[in-house]
Structure 1
Amino acid sequence: MSAPKPFPMNAWYAAAWDADIRHALFARTICGKHLVLYRRSDGGVAALEDACWHRLVPLSKGRLEGDEVVCGYHGLVYNSQGRCTHMPSQETINPAACVRSYPVVERHRFVWVWMGDPALADPELVPDLHWNHDPAWAGDGSTIHVQCDYRLVVDNLMDLTHETFVHGSSIGNRAVAEAPFDVTHGDRTATVARWMRDIDPPPFWAAQLGRPGKVDRWQIIRFEAPCTVAIDVGVALAGSGAPEGDRSQGVNGYVLNTITPETERSCHYFWAFVRNYRLQEQRLTTELREGVSRIFREDEEVLEAQQRAMDENPGRVFYNLSIDAGAMWARRLIDRMVEREAPPPARQAAE
């Protein structure tokens, strides 16, 4: 029996930014499944299996007529629920002629698709990234197509020690690697909290604060299974009360991340950086988006190199340090979701 895929299916995955889905066919692969998405005339989004019932030609190679998809090979027509409404050269439509339709929710500027059992598709389970549209916060983001296992991106986000070494010219300094941290977890979440008190700010945060002097810096990383990470970040003047809850003498941002598996070795990494200061300055929004994008390109280079090394050394086992505690908990939560979906023989073998 083949091993289960490393991603749970009963979960909401970001398929695209909401602005990416228009009245046009949009192909995306999620968890190894090919989908085609489009926005209907009523503004809602349809997500269908990207394979015609007739000969499995991708429907994304076809066209839209109104709110229906026309296969580009033989002209079969499907409505937004995946039901075939027309077959060429015959009046009777085979009742079995349909393609799978996936539940869709639009929330937090993303289009989310439920890949598993549609009966379990509870919109309340959409990961919380509300800062993306909260008027008290401003920002923007982008998408990176990374050639690596999506869990490597989660590992990267759950341990920010690497900032000292990978991002030393922007957001990293020695204090990140040396500061203690606390790890907590629940049934679907894991949190890593790190406070760095009375330190020199790294270049990025010194520019954001705009005042000289030592700072108290925080990084509070919250993972929500299977692959969403919201990171509360910022600096405040040292001794001004930020660790006790008063951040008024500082600047606060959130790094919002949700990673969608494409295959076992590739993923779509959606990210945004939002802030609660200088909200009306579009120039700052653009500058921050471009700056964070450069930082994440450094991560992309490391992660893809890591994936290549793993492929070349398939029997190699990872060694864990204390800094890996948050990533280890995230992996456990993902593994539990995968195990719950395994058929009984596989579940018994795992036990």
Structure 2
Amino acid sequence: MFPKNAWYVAATPDEIDEKPLARTICNEKIVFYRPAPGQVAALEDFCPHRGAALSLGTVVEGQLVCGYHGLAMGCDGKTVSMPGQRVAGFPKIRSFPVVEKYGFIWVWTGDASRADPANIHVLEWADNPKWAYGGGLYHIQCDYRLMVDNLMDLTHETYVHTTSIGQKEIDETPVTTKVDGDHVVTSRFMDQVMAPPFWRANLRGAGLPDDQPVDRWQVCHFHPPSHVLIEVGVALAGRGGYHADPKDKVYSVVTDFLTPETETSMWYFWGMARNFMPGDKSLTAQIRDGQAKVFAEDTAVLEAQQRNLSAWPSRRLLMLNIDAGGVQSRRVIDRLVAAEQPRQETLAA
């Protein structure tokens, strides 16, 4: 269950080179390709001739050529040519609104007339020389909403990420949840704690001591359709915490773009943007590698969770106070999905 009238991250620019890229998003089989440098197009991955996958073809002079019989498609889904055939009567296949922005390829899988690129969530750190970004992509066999739950309740870090970002103070510190329209925020502030391994490494990377108490924060922002941006960091204790001077803290934004593939699988575009030591490429690589290990641990838990839920679909799950962020985020998703459903007309007796 997912909204379709929304912008989803479909790929990173480097995934679409001279070859087409096949990717299923919101149950739509889509082929992405570049008709020209700096441009991107998205079509239904279905040749109107015999139903072959267009993604197995090639791009020739800006057109997507089917690898089965040479049928050439335009960016609008209209057949342009085919060897020895007249193509004027060929049916048009679906094209999808697609935009390259903020270092990602975004696709709209719903009503094309409602696709406004201005509504793509603003990423203030993108293309900003004061920030550095590193990330990756995981293909995960679980309902994307399970990842929403996971990211909007970071209590699990104490148990899942014991060697990286977990610490007992996460369990011991209450979390606050607020809702502002479709924006859900959960926040946790931990004062006078020792930084866990991942953050000790970042303190060292920023030239700060890693053996002193710190004030740590986690502020999770859910934005529809399924984006979770998490403000995280630590500051030397007593220097103002979240509001400390940049010289006394390490501050980052964990980026989580959760793109549904099917009802039980997803594409997870993860990364971290930071505003300290932005020019240090080795630090970027170090943080990315550390994140990759953390999210791999989440993947194992979520895929096992999905297998359980698929095996016992009628089992009722408990809802606790720590689940408030995920519950509120799911309510936003449910509301958006319901708004896209056809209205049932009531006939008068």
TM-score per shorter chain, which class?
A: over 0.9
Cα distance in 2, alignment partners of residues 25 and 160 from structure 1:
37
Cα distance in 2, alignment partners of residues 288 and 279 from structure 1:
12
- Structure 2 residue 122 is matched with structure 1 residue 128: yes
Tell me if structure 1 keeps the 8 A contact 2:72–2:80: yes
For residue 106 of structure 1, what is the aligned residue in structure 2?
A: 100
Moved more, 266-275 or 73-82: 73-82
In the TM superposition, residue 127 of structure 1 has moved relative to its aligned partner by 2.0
Judging changes above 3 Å, is the alpha-carbon distance between structure 1 residues 92 and 235 closer, same or farther for their aligned structure 2 residues?
closer
Measured on the aligned residues, the alpha-carbon RMSD in Å equals: 1.5
Which segments of structure 1 move beyond 3 Å, counting only runs of 4 or more? 243-248
For residue 257 of structure 1, what is the aligned residue in structure 2?
A: 256
Which ranges in structure 2 are unaligned for 5 or more consecutive residues? none
- Structure 2 residue 35 is matched with structure 1 residue 44: no
1:1-351 to 2 correspondence within 5 Å?
Answer: 6-91=1-86, 93-94=88-89, 96-210=90-204, 211=209, 212-244=211-243, 246-345=245-344
Cα distance in 2, alignment partners of residues 231 and 92 from structure 1:
50
Tell me if structure 1 keeps the 8 A contact 2:234–2:242: no
Moved more, 11-20 or 81-90: 81-90
Cα distance in 2, alignment partners of residues 175 and 148 from structure 1:
29
Query: What amino acid maps onto 2:133 in structure 1?
Result: G
In the TM superposition, residue 132 of structure 1 has moved relative to its aligned partner by 3.8
Cα distance in 2, alignment partners of residues 221 and 133 from structure 1:
22
In the TM superposition, residue 178 of structure 1 has moved relative to its aligned partner by 1.2
Query: What amino acid maps onto 1:329 in structure 2?
Result: Q
Matched pairs, number: 341
Q: TM-score, normalised by structure 1?
A: 0.93
Cα distance in 1, alignment partners of residues 218 and 164 from structure 2:
15
Judging changes above 3 Å, is the alpha-carbon distance between structure 1 residues 92 and 248 closer, same or farther for their aligned structure 2 residues?
closer
In the TM superposition, residue 276 of structure 1 has moved relative to its aligned partner by 1.4
In the TM superposition, residue 241 of structure 1 has moved relative to its aligned partner by 1.1
Q: TM-score, normalised by structure 2?
A: 0.94
For residue 3 of structure 1, what is the aligned residue in structure 2?
A: none
Cα distance in 1, alignment partners of residues 135 and 166 from structure 2:
20
Judging changes above 3 Å, is the alpha-carbon distance between structure 1 residues 208 and 87 closer, same or farther for their aligned structure 2 residues?
closer
Tell me if structure 1 keeps the 8 A contact 2:7–2:108: yes
- Share of identical aligned residues, percent? 45
Give the match's secondary structure for 1:168.
coil
Cα distance in 2, alignment partners of residues 231 and 132 from structure 1:
15
Judging changes above 3 Å, is the alpha-carbon distance between structure 1 residues 71 and 308 closer, same or farther for their aligned structure 2 residues?
same
Give the match's secondary structure for 1:344.
coil
Tell me if structure 2 keeps the 8 A contact 1:214–1:237: yes
In the TM superposition, residue 128 of structure 1 has moved relative to its aligned partner by 2.8
